[in-house]
Amino acid sequence: MEKEKLKNRKNDLLCEKLRSLLNENGYGFSDEDKVLLEEILNELEELSKREIDGNSRDAPLKFLLIAMRFLKLFGIDDIDQLF
């Protein structure tokens, strides 16, 4: 149970930081990047709700997909580019 709370806190912290990044005036994201970050934020929030409800069987896969979308922000469209 404690492990689940820790994961949820980390996810909440990630959402909070991402929200802060999006709202910060000093950051100049392109419209495309901003939309991508907002989609990632929405998916992270959805993932957090699933974990609270106990519906997190597919959480690792969902998190991997979110991470791949985040990498796209840095121009990495193919995971093979990382290796």
From residue 23, alpha-carbon distances to 31, 55, 75, 77 in Å are 13, 30, 22, 25
CB atoms near residue 20 (< 10 Å): 10
Percent of the chain beyond pLDDT 90?
Answer: 1
Residue 30 pLDDT > 80, yes or no?
yes
Residue 56 sits in which domain range? Answer: 2-82
Report how many domains make up the chain.
1
Segment 7-22 shows an average pLDDT of 84
CB atoms near residue 82 (< 10 Å): 7
| Model confidence pTM above 0.75 | no
